[in-house]
Every structure is written in C-alpha cells, then in structure tokens.
Amino acid sequence: MVYKVIGLMSGSSMDGLDIVHVLLSEVRGQWSYDILHADCVPYNEQWTEDLREATNKNVSDFLKLHTSYGRYLGEQVNAFIAKHDLAHNVHFIASHGHTVFHEPEHRTTVQVGDGAAIAAVTGLPVINDLRAMDVALGGQGAPIVPIGDKLLFGGHDYLLNIGGIANITISGGEAPIAFDVCPANQILNALAEREDQPMDKDGNMASVGALLPGILEELNDADYYKRLPPKSLSNDAAMDLVFPKLLETEQHNYDLLHTATMLIVQQISAAVQLYPHGKEQATLLATGGGAFNTFLITELQKALTPLNIAVVVPDANVVKYKEALVMALIGTLRWREEVNVLSSVTGAGRNSVGGALWIGA
C-alpha cells in the first residue's frame, strides 16, 4: 500500500511549524519512506507568545487558542499544497499539534490545534490528538516517535532526537525502549537569546566557553535523571531542571552555554550506558535541530567512542523533519487501525491505536 500524507509537527524548541509531504509504502510488513516536500514555517512573535503562555490563559481564551491555532495549521497546509502543486496528491493530514500541558501522572495531556478546524479549512481528512489514548491507558504518552524508529529506522542501535527536549530510543530486543533524556535546545536557545541570537549556531559560543564544574554537578543531580524509564518531561518540567539555577548565576554566558552543552552530552551518554549494545561497533542516529550543533555532536562522539558507538547524522531533511515524518507514519497506522503507540516505551497498560479522525469533505 502507498500513502501520500502531510505530517505536521510543532516541538518544544518553538522554532516553527514543520510540514512534510511524504510517500509511505508498506510491502509485506516492511515500511519505506520518501520525503517529497518539506518546509518549516517560523512562528511570528504573537504565535510564539500565545503558545508559550497557553496554560496561563483563562478557559475561554484557551479554547479560542485551540481553535484558532487549528485554523492556522489548516491555512499553512493550504499554502504548502499550493506552493508545491499538491492538489489531489494528499490522502490525509497527520497533525501532532503543539504540546501545552502534559501531566501523565494525572492521565492528562493537551496538544492545541483543533483537528476539526484543520479539516474544515483544508477539506482533507485529519488525524490528530495522537497521545491521548496512551495517556488514558496510564502511559506517559511520550515518546511516541519510537514506532517510527522501529518501522523506518530499525538499522540503528540507538536513535536520538535532540529537539527542545532530547529523547532516545533503544532498538533491539522484543520491544524498543524510549524515554525523554533531558532538556536540550530549549536551554541552549534561551541562553543564546541573551546574546541576541535565536540559537548557538554550530555551538560556536559554547565551544569557546569554559566548563563550570560546580554548576554541572548540581544540574546533573536532579531527581529526574535517577529515575528509570518509562519517563517523560513536559516543557515546563524540562525548564525547571535547569532554571532558575542556570540563569541566576553571575557566570559568563558562553561558560553557561558550554556547561549546558556538556550536561546534554553527559545525560545522553548516561542514558546509553543503561542499555549496552553488546556489539563490536554500534550506531546512534542523531536527528533534530541539535544534530546541526557541531560542538555538541563532536563532544557527544568523544563521550561515546569508548563505548564503541558511532554517531551518525543523516541528510539534512531527515535531521530537520524526522518527527514530522513519524507523525505522518503514526497517522497512517491510525488510518489502517494498527498499533501506533508502544506500551513498552510509555508504560501504558497495552499498545494502542491513538488518534482522532476528522473527515474534511
């Protein structure tokens, strides 16, 4: 079977809306993909503020945001279809939305971006609300990308996404294991903004900074890092692990960037060591915006070399759009009414078929 799908992803790094048009093929249980078109639509200041402050809004304004953001997603899809001449070349849309509230311990997670609004604006079928079923079953609802790691990227031993939050999938065994590792780009971006930069490009500022051992030790001592999977981080919980400790110091910002980068490296290395590969040589696929951070990847490779693990950075489209690609796959599995969230990853009572379906026409 062949599916032409648009996948939408908005992550915790807040760099914009990722849109991909992908061709997904399944032959005798084997899946393959081709990213046909891909764009990232940056958020303007108003959308950035609205999404960051979503949980501080009153109920009325929050519900209006959910609807208006859904219409915005639909409008961006329409513009994407027009730009790439995709009329009649999209079977359906799979939208992650933007996570604004995540407390799986209370069986609650919310991703804004009303699926009905997207369907109404585009006239296409829409699958969204991808995490809710797993959370209702007692799972973390995160990470949900491991089903894509298993079906599309199974040739690697470890699959790391360095977005606003770093998460990792350990393949092999009867079922994959995956969890949120630590805050990542959201720390580095917040520190870079103090230098009037949206990000620390290539890790250049961090690379000339000095390590602050005392601060690094304090950051590494957070209780979250001592917990075993399944576990996940909300955006707020991730920020609480590093702020205000990091920002309250009098240290030079370049030194803070260096130290925050080493926190990410050390926590990823610690996560990998929990699950030894038992091979002469293993590979770790690195994607997400952090994979473009040359200093971070170089330091990570140094940390993993003694463990006989090679860091692999794929082509730029996969680095940037892997999560949107996986959302397209998750939506396709929902369309087929097949398992798309793995309980071995999330800790739910069972595997589940997650997602709400809205018929646009």
What average pLDDT score do residues 312-325 get? 95
What distance in Å separates the CA atoms of residue 220 and residue 346, rounded to the nearest whole number? 24
Q: How confident is the model at residue 176 (pLDDT cuts 50, 70, 90)?
A: confident
Task: Give start-end residues of each CATH 3.30.420.40 domain in the chain.
Answer: 2-142+327-358, 146-318
Closest to 284 (Cα-Cα) out of 166, 159, 172 = 159
Q: Is the pLDDT assigned to residue 235 strictly greater than 90?
A: no
Buried b (16+ CB within 10 A) or exposed e, 318-343: bbbbbbbbbbbbbbbbbbeeeebbbb
Q: Is the pLDDT assigned to residue 358 strictly greater than 80?
A: yes
Interacting residues of 111 by C-beta distance below 8 A, sequence separation 6+: 96, 97, 98, 99, 100, 128, 129, 130, 131
Q: With contact defined as beta carbons under 8 Å apart, do 130 and 96 qualify?
A: yes
- pTM metric for this prediction: 0.88
Output the pLDDT for position 125.
98
For the ranges 1-5, 88-92, 167-171, the lowest mean pLDDT is seen at: 167-171
Interacting residues of 88 by C-beta distance below 8 A, sequence separation 6+: none
Domain 2-142+327-358 is in which class?
alpha beta
For the ranges 174-178, 259-263, 271-275, the lowest mean pLDDT is seen at: 174-178
More confident residue, 232 or 90: 90
Output the pLDDT for position 281.
96
Output the pLDDT for position 320.
93
Q: Is the pLDDT assigned to residue 173 strictly greater than 70?
A: no
Bridge-based pairing state of the strands 158-162 and 282-287:
parallel
Output the pLDDT for position 290.
95
Domain 146-318 is in which class?
alpha beta
Strand partners, 110: 101
Q: Is the pLDDT assigned to residue 142 strictly greater than 90?
A: no
For the ranges 18-22, 33-37, 132-136, 234-238, the lowest mean pLDDT is seen at: 234-238
What average pLDDT score do residues 213-236 get? 92
Output the pLDDT for position 247.
73
Average pLDDT score over the chain: 94
Q: How confident is the model at residue 32 (pLDDT cuts 50, 70, 90)?
A: very high
Q: Is the pLDDT assigned to residue 71 strictly greater than 80?
A: yes
Report the amino acid identity of residue 30: Q
Output the pLDDT for position 248.
76
Q: Which residue spans within 176-325 are E strands per DSSP?
A: 177-183, 282-287, 309-312
Instruction: Identify the helix (H) or strand (E) that includes residue 62.
Output: helix 59-83
Q: Is the pLDDT assigned to residue 234 strictly greater than 90?
A: no
Q: Is the pLDDT assigned to residue 90 strictly greater than 80?
A: yes
